[in-house]
Every structure is written in structure tokens, then in C-alpha cells.
Structure 1
Amino acid sequence: MGYFYFLLGVAAILVLSMLLSLRKSLKRQFALPYVADRTFFTPEQRAFVSVLERALGTDYRVCAKVRVADVVGLRGRLSRDDQERAYQRLGERRFDFLVCAADTSAIVCAVNLAPRSRRGKPPPKDILDRICAAAGLPFVRIRERDAYALDEVAAIVSDVMQHRKASERDAVLPHAEAEAMLQGLSKSILGEERGARPARAPESPRRREPEVGVSKRRDPLILGREDIEDGPSFTIQDDLDEVSPRPGRRR
């Protein structure tokens, strides 16, 4: 009889252990696999962001770790295949830092940190540089360092900002020229609505070609008395005989 209770206790222990292991597996299966990071910036990013904020001043704000797809879109009239390829290029790429205007939150430029290099070469470019160039978003890479010069960082970022401002200024049509174009367009539209023909631009006068076989007489050009040649001179004497009349015609 004691042997029976011993086997019953062993069976209960086995069943209990199985239930516990099953509970753990189910909990592990249905639990969400997420873990929070302890810090937002990496040590390299934390060392650079303070320098970047001081270099920009209070007129700008710095946003960190922004997905490229959140600030770069696609232009219209693209096929579905082109859209899919374009989104694949964006992928999970992100900007380390995004500089925005403090008052309007307008995006000014993007900055990424490049790994350290002992050779001192400029950071290599990849597809992200081409994406930013096509989208018209100023983008610059800065090498990671142990210490950053505030003036150097300010000069690099300011140069990128000025380049964009110059591009936008060149792309803007002058006010006077834009107003003249709009007035001309409105007059053309009003003329078409009223059934009037649009005024044609005056044609430049064409040079008439001389007709073949017809000679044109030109008056001589006399510049001065020295250009006139003297002809033969004649003198009339007073003792010339009087000319007799010619005899009349006989009938």
C-alpha cells in the first residue's frame, strides 16, 4: 500500500512540473518581445549633439534619429513598380540629427555621424546622399571624434544651410518678371474667352532681295568740287559768218 502512495506522489510531481513548464512556454509565446533602451543617444551621439546645439544657437532645434521616410516623400505620377523600388531604397535608413527652424519647424538640413578614420579621408557617400540630393534636402556627414571644435562644426553646418538658401533664391522668379508673365497670361486668357485673336508680335522687317534681270539705276554721289572732272572747253568767235537760210522745198 505504501508503494502505491509513493508512485502517486511521483506522478503528481511530474504532472505539476509539466504544467509549470507549459505555463512558461505559453507566457513566453504570447508575451510581446520588446525591451526598452536605457539611453537614447550612443556615447558618440551624446558627445556631438551638445556641440551641434551650441553651434546652431537658439534659432534652431535638433531632432535625433529621424527616419528618412518620415521627411522624404515621393513625387507624383509614379507607377506602382517605381513607388515600390523608391520605398525599398528608403528602407529603414535614418538621419542621426535633423536640424529644424525653432519658430516654423522647417527642415533646414540633416547631419549624420561617420565612423572614425585614421587616414583622415572624407566620409564616403552612399545611396542616402543621392536620395537627399534628389529631394533637395541638404545633407552632410561629420567624422566621429574625441573632441569637436565648435567653430568648425558651425562652419560646416552653416555652409550647408547657405548652399540651400542660394539654390532657393536662384529658383525664385523675380517679382517684376513674375508679375509681367501673369499679366500677359491673363490678357491671353481673356482674349480667347472673348473670341479675339491674340495679338501677334511685330515681325522684324525683311530685307528685300533684288529681282533677277532687273538693273537698278543709282544716282551718282558727288562729294565735292574736286571730284568733278572738267570736260572739253569751247569758245565762240564774234566774226562768224551769218548762216544763210536753207532754200525752201520746191513744189
Structure 2
Amino acid sequence: MELILFAMISLVVVVALLASRLNDNSFPFPFDRKSAIFTPAEKNFQNLVEQAMGPQYRIVNRVRLSDIVTIRNGVSSKAGQTAKANADNKYLDFVICDRDTMKLLGTIDLVDTQGKGYKMKKDWFVSGALEAASIPHIRIKIKPNYSVDEIKSCIHNRLFGQAPAPIPKFKGRVIPANMVKPRTKQANGDVGVLTAAAVTNELAANKNTANIPAPRVAALPH
């Protein structure tokens, strides 16, 4: 009787274990498709960076650190494996490359100062690796609104050491018609240039009429 009871208990335990395995979520492919590859903030920032840099550059998102650095010659096998393993787990938000050659120019990380991102504090390994490899690393604070000009200025200062030349809004200045003084006519009716004597006489005449208020003239447009 005891053997039968023991066998029944064992059978119940085995069935419970099998049932738990069937209901377990340890399926080898527990994946589902994301609704979007990038967050709205990442996508908006990428668009601004592309506008700021222009068509001659390519902006690549979420690049592993190990994809842009390599282990130096002469490093021990153990140290190289450790460094590569650490680099495999680190990501850069954006990488700037030359569009034609894909030459690496610099990296950008978005920093959440509100304490909601793992990049809020500077990662010593990422910073050290990029500095050792002479790769510029730009950390930009996340905020609701950016302007293309401020992003362009920030990136150019870090990558090229100078701010981009400002684009003029106007091609020259327009002088109003009422400020253009026609040249005086000579006795023969020709239009000529004032001689030195005529300039002296005109200055003397102006000196005698200094108490007469000058007409108000509009300033040149900026």
C-alpha cells in the first residue's frame, strides 16, 4: 500500500514538473517585433544632425564601440579579450562618417540629465577607449527643442575646431533712393565731379548754416 501511495505521489510530482516546463517562458525565441527602431527623440535628433552636417556626411545610429575601435598590437591576449568583451557591450548613439569614404569623424551620445538614462553619468570605459583611439566624443544634453544652428556649432567646434561660417541672409545692402544725392551740373550742363575748391566752398557754406537743423534721414537697413 505504501509503495502504491509513493508511486502515485511521484507521478503527481513528475506531471507537475512537466506542466511547469510547458508553461515556462524559456522558449528559445521569445521575441516580438518592436513598433519602431528608434524613439521619437532619437529620430528627431538624427534629422537635426543630418540637416546640420549636410549631404556630405552620413549619420549612423547605435553603433557598438567594438565596431569602431580595435585592439592594439602588442597587447596581451588576456587583456585584449577583456577589453573587447567590454567594448562589445558599449554602444554609441550616433556616429558621424564621411558619406563617400565612410571615414569615422566622431561620435555623439545623448545624455538624459533627468536621471532616466544609463548615460547620465560619463562612462569611463567609453571615454577612455575613444580618447585612446583619438575619436572625438560629443555628449549632448537631451532637451525638448534643439535648433539646427546650435547643433551645427557644437559638432563643428568638437570635430573641426571651429564654428561654421555664418550664411549671410542678404547679398549686400540696399540704399534707399532718398539717400542717393545726385551730382551737381556744371555750367555747360554736364554732370561732373566736385573739384577741391568747390568742396572747400561747400564746407564753408555748411559751417555758416550750422545752426540750421539737419534733415532726419532713415538709417541703413541691417
* TM-score bracket, shorter-length normalisation: 0.5 to 0.7
Instruction: State which of 100, 103, 107 in structure 2 corresponds to 1:103.
Output: 100
**Structure 1: which 5+ runs fail to align?**
1-17, 165-251
- Residue 157 and residue 125 in structure 1: after superposition, are their counterparts in 2 closer, same or farther (change >3 A)? same
Alignment of 1:1-251 (within 5 A): 25=22, 31-117=28-114, 124-127=121-124, 128-163=126-161
TM-score (normalised: structure 1): 0.50
Show CA shifts across 1:194-243 (max 9, x none): xxxxxxxxxxxxxxxxxxxxxxxxxxxxxxxxxxxxxxxxxxxxxxxxxx
Q: 1:124 Cα shift?
A: 4.6
Aligned-partner Cα distance in 2 for 1:150–1:143: 15
Q: 1:125 Cα shift?
A: 2.7
* Larger radius of gyration between Structure 1 and Structure 2: 1
Aligned-partner Cα distance in 1 for 2:26–2:122: 42
> Which residue matches 1:248?
none
Contact 1:116 1:145 in 2 (8 A): no
Contact 2:48 2:148 in 1 (8 A): yes
Aligned-partner Cα distance in 1 for 2:94–2:157: 16
Structure 1 SS opposite 2:73: coil
- Residue 28 and residue 82 in structure 1: after superposition, are their counterparts in 2 closer, same or farther (change >3 A)? closer
Show CA shifts across 1:175-204 (max 9, x none): xxxxxxxxxxxxxxxxxxxxxxxxxxxxxx
Q: 1:30 Cα shift?
A: 5.2
Identical-pair percentage: 24
Aligned-partner Cα distance in 2 for 1:95–1:31: 28
Compare the two structures and name the one with the higher helix fraction. 1
Show CA shifts across 1:54-98 (max 9, x none): 101101011101111111111111112211231243241101011
Contact 2:62 2:92 in 1 (8 A): yes
Structure 2 SS opposite 1:44: helix
Q: 1:116 Cα shift?
A: 3.2
